Amino acid sequence: MSEIDKKWYVVRAISGKEKKVKELLELEISRNGLSDFVAQVLIPTEKVFQIRNGKKINKEKTYLPGYVLIEANLAGEVPHIIKNIPNVIGFLGTEKGGVPVAMRLAEVNRILGKVDELIENEEELRIPFVVGESVKVIDGPFNNFSGVIDDINEEKKKLKVMVKIFGRKNLLELSYMQVEKEV
């Protein structure tokens, strides 16, 4: 059989239910033998680092909440099957209930490129601090102190922060995770 032409579409889902929608979509595709028409289902996610109880935790967070990307050929019953999956609102298109609109290639490449980049840089933590910027210490013995960044060591992911303690300026070496930008 010849290769079926597929395009990327955006399926709107109830926010927070994207993983369930993906599982059900893949189940329906395999059960109805539609793998020729639907190539892949994708939820764009990113790794997020948080500090909880003094420990660094990485979580996976959806960066387009409420949307699931699907590479498919919407022929025959395919759109109907997709729309009838629980927690699916419908396709993203020009008008409500209208014909699904395929994504432009540039948009697809940008989103897929971002997903690939996030996978490659999974453990890389890039926080753009600048020398001279005001930060607040959020972890460690100097919690709630404010200071100014004096030096940045990107390899060790450490900052040297000048903090005023009891009226005297002290230089502290802190990790990226121990400070946040002051607003």
What pLDDT digit, counting tens, does each position of 69-122 carry? 999 998 888 888 999 999 999 898 867 767 888 888 888 888 877 666 655 554
16 with 49, same domain?
A: yes
Task: Indicate if the pLDDT at residue 125 is higher than 70.
Answer: no
Q: Whole-angstrom Cα distance, residue 91 to residue 101?
A: 8
The domain that holds 93 is classified in CATH as 3.30.70.940
- pLDDT tens track for 129-165: 888 999 999 888 889 999 999 999 887 888 999 999 8
Global pTM reads 0.59
Q: Whole-angstrom Cα distance, residue 171 to residue 161?
A: 6
62 with 139, same domain?
A: no
- Phi, psi torsion values for 101, nearest 5 degrees: -105, 130
Task: Report the 10 Å Cβ neighbour count for 54.
Answer: 9
81 with 159, same domain?
A: no
109 with 168, same domain?
A: no
